[in-house]
Amino acid sequence: MEKTAQHFDLLIIGGGMVGASLACALGNQPLRIGVIEAVPLRSSSQPSYDDRSIALAFGARKIFEGMGLWQQIEAIVTPIKKIHVSDRGHFGTTRMDAAREGYPALGYVVENRELGQRFAEQLTSLPNIELICPAQLKNFTINADCAEVVVERDGRVETLTSKLIVGADGGRSVVRQLAGISYSSDDYNQSAVIANVTPSKDHRNVAYERFTDSGPLALLPMSRGRCSLVWTVNRDRVDEVMGWDDKTFLTQLQQRFGMRLGVLQKVGRRNAYPLALVRADEQIRPRLALIGNAAHVLHPIAGQGFNLGIRDVAALAEVIVGAKEEEIGALSVLTRYDQWRKRDQDCIAGLTDGLVRIFSNQITPLVIGRNSGLLAMDMIPPLKRALMRQTMGLAGKLPRLARGIPLS
């Protein structure tokens, strides 16, 4: 392993959830890795590790197991044992039960900030990882023998070189922009309002997804009896919803959610996120790959964004380690990654987008159709199982990490 001050085998731009996961996945490999992150990892303004909680699919657990990181993460998660999907005021309902399907849990809810702490601890303990943070990517050029990356750190401009750069710098990716990679962006004209809510009844590890006339809402089980709320509202109503006092907010939420969790008693700080489907038109170039939100931003309706991103991580890490005599930045190597990921990305983006459109619509035939779909799903186990395997990240050709097996 070459150890010069400025040269890396791999430079990851963005130390958010996906970039940090890739660095952790490649920890202890004979590769010198730099992670360039704009915001200090433990700072309260870190955008990836903010007030949100996310649902990790069972497949993400397998990947963390393969990375040797699950033990640390398990201590901070709340398992989802059952999922209950309903359409307010209509007949359709679907239930999923981990025990019945033979899994310990269908997924796990984790607070982003807590997950960020675990990543920070792991990254600082791995000898082959250098955290270049806080530092901002300013420019890069791709040459025949390396990529040259210009960063600004402590007011100084430095040039680093690397065999491969990976853009994991989120939905507004500067890497994507500097590379001139075009993307499609479909604004849903909706925002997700998130908050922690404390109900009077025990959540019993059930995740609720409820479709309402003012948009889908999810209440996910969390620690200390709390539930993590993701409430999708039309953009023109978001200021109103954010402006409600806590009592009005809880009353409005209760009306839409019903009494399954008893009285919704307390709500924490609210945040709103504008929602769009964004997909990069290319994800690889010689010496360059885009992963996570830099490659695809999804609506949170089915909790798939990070879960898709960590499957990018598992596949890219395997392709990099498997490159052997080939250069890790070679297009032939990166093409293997690109082809591997296409089907899963298309499928999950299509599924998520379809759900948003079907469940944000009040046209009568669609309402009848979606309720019949929910019922059919409940009554036809093979259909339900196929959907579960896909959304749990267990379908298709799985990388080693996604089977819980270490890279080497």
Ligand X SMILES: Cc1cc2nc3c(=O)[nH]c(=O)nc-3n(C[C@H](O)[C@H](O)[C@H](O)COP(=O)(O)OP(=O)(O)OC[C@H]3O[C@@H](n4cnc5c(N)ncnc54)[C@H](O)[C@@H]3O)c2cc1C
Residue of the chain from 6, 42, 44, 47 that contacts ligand X (CB under 6 A): 47
The residue count for binding ligand X (CB under 6 A) is: 36
Q: Whose Cβ is closer to ligand X: residue 174's or residue 206's? A: 174
Residue of the chain from 34, 199, 216, 292 that contacts ligand X (CB under 6 A): 292
Structure tokens given for 182: 């075009």
Q: Among the candidate windows 11-19, 97-105, 119-127, 239-247, which touches ligand X by CB under 6 A?
A: 11-19
Question: Measured at CB, which residue is nearest to ligand X?
Answer: 16
On whether the CB atoms of residues 299 and 275 are closer than 8 A, the answer is yes
Nearest approach, Cβ of 121 to ligand X (angstroms)? 16
Residue of the chain from 10, 11, 24, 54 that contacts ligand X (CB under 6 A): 54
Q: Is 36 in the site for ligand X (CB under 6 A)?
A: yes
Q: Which amino acid is at 165?
A: I
CA 218 – CA 109 distance, rounded (Å): 12
CA 64 – CA 67 distance, rounded (Å): 5
Nearest approach, Cβ of 379 to ligand X (angstroms)? 27
Nearest approach, Cβ of 376 to ligand X (angstroms)? 25
CA 251 – CA 256 distance, rounded (Å): 9
Q: Is 34 in the site for ligand X (CB under 6 A)?
A: no
Q: Whose Cβ is closer to ligand X: residue 79's or residue 170's? A: 170
Tell me which H or E stretch contains 137.
strand 135-142
Structure tokens given for 335: 């093409």
Structure tokens given for 111: 């607070």
Q: Is 349 in the site for ligand X (CB under 6 A)?
A: no
CA 96 – CA 300 distance, rounded (Å): 19
CA 295 – CA 200 distance, rounded (Å): 41
Residue of the chain from 25, 194, 229, 280 that contacts ligand X (CB under 6 A): 194
Q: Among the candidate windows 9-17, 96-104, 179-187, 318-326, which touches ligand X by CB under 6 A?
A: 9-17
The contact pattern for ligand X, residues 300-339, with x = CB under 6 A and - = no contact, is x--xxxxx-x------------------------------
Residue of the chain from 37, 65, 111, 344 that contacts ligand X (CB under 6 A): 37
Q: Is 59 in the site for ligand X (CB under 6 A)?
A: no
Residue of the chain from 158, 273, 389, 396 that contacts ligand X (CB under 6 A): 273
Chain positions 227 to 246 lying near ligand X, rule: CB under 6 A, are: 230
CA distances from 330 to 128, 142, 177, 307, 336 (A): 22, 12, 21, 27, 10
Please give the angle made by the CA atoms of 16, 21 and 24, to the nearest 5 degrees.
125
Please give the angle made by the CA atoms of 250, 256 and 262, to the nearest 5 degrees.
60
Strand-strand pairing, 206-212 and 129-132: unpaired
Q: Is 196 in the site for ligand X (CB under 6 A)?
A: no
Residue of the chain from 10, 11, 12, 13 that contacts ligand X (CB under 6 A): 13
Beta bridge partners of 85: 94, 209
Strands (E) located in 26-143:
33-36, 53-57, 78-80, 82-87, 93-97, 107-111, 129-132, 135-142
Interface positions with ligand X (CB under 6 A): 13-19, 36-39, 47-48, 52, 54-55, 136-137, 168-171, 174, 192, 194, 230, 273, 292-293, 300, 303-307, 309
